[in-house]
Structure 1
Amino acid sequence: MVSDRQSIATELSFALNAAANRMVRLHKPLLEPLGLTFSQYLVTLELLNGSPLTVGELCARLDMETGTLTPLLKRLEAAGVVTRTRDASDERRVLIDLTPRGRGLEGELRAIPDKIRVACQLTVDGLEELRRTLDGLARPITAP
């Protein structure tokens, strides 16, 4: 017999996975005309918030592993969205910046979250509450 506690965790995991998959599916028709995948969209948005950034900084901000991010960045570079250059002050570091084409996507990319909010039938307050809840699950506060 499965305890109530395991049942709740399984249902929560399923619900979060289903919601994450739905988010990707909702974004797909908005991103395809721009030539971006959902992960590439997240990287591009982060760079629009301030770049250049090192690969390490991007990994930390997006909670991605280097092995996941590096091939994604190579594809964005091949598509003309980002540049990858060695840091002149420390050649071990790679700096990621947006190209003019990448910066040109800003208006369309910044409009997407509102379209997603509407598609999910969330108010601005409801969205903020959901985001806080999910941030709490994704980044729990640890005791000192």
Structure 2
Amino acid sequence: MLKRVIVLFIGITSLSVSSFAQEQTNTISTKTVKTLSKTPDYAMGVSTEKHLKAAIQLFHQFETSGVTVNNFEIVVWGKVVSELKNGGELAELISKQVKGKLKITICNVALNFFDMTGSDIPDNVEIIPNAYIRMYELNALGYNTFIP
């Protein structure tokens, strides 16, 4: 009996801690918002679906937290490019998300590698010649850049 109570207690505690941790990651402190707003241009380089979705979520988190955002560019390369074909779930998500300050660019090298063209991807996505060079360019322009 005592063993069951302990297991139950550990289970409830684990759920509470994980729930608390999720809530904490969804808020940005006022101090951090102020610091982030000093350089309001952001770029993330991504090569997986998970990171692409996380980057979109981060953009929205910045907006809802009051972070000043002039530009937020997600630079996409790698295998995830093959998952961005029109008609797919990921392409549909991007079509709905890209507007205003959020921009998604896709590496032409990756498009060629997966035998795709601009007509295969959502219209509101810009094709860039090389994702790595684009990340260096954005960095040189003063963007806060990050590659998970």
- TM-score of the alignment, normalized to the shorter chain, above 0.5: no
Compute the TM-score of the two structures, normalised by the length of structure 2: 0.36
- Quick one: higher RCO (CA 8 Å, sep 6+), 1 or 2? 2
From the CA coordinates, give the structure whose radius of gyration is larger. Answer: 2
Structure with higher helix content: 1
Structure with higher strand content: 2
Compute the TM-score of the two structures, normalised by the length of structure 1: 0.37
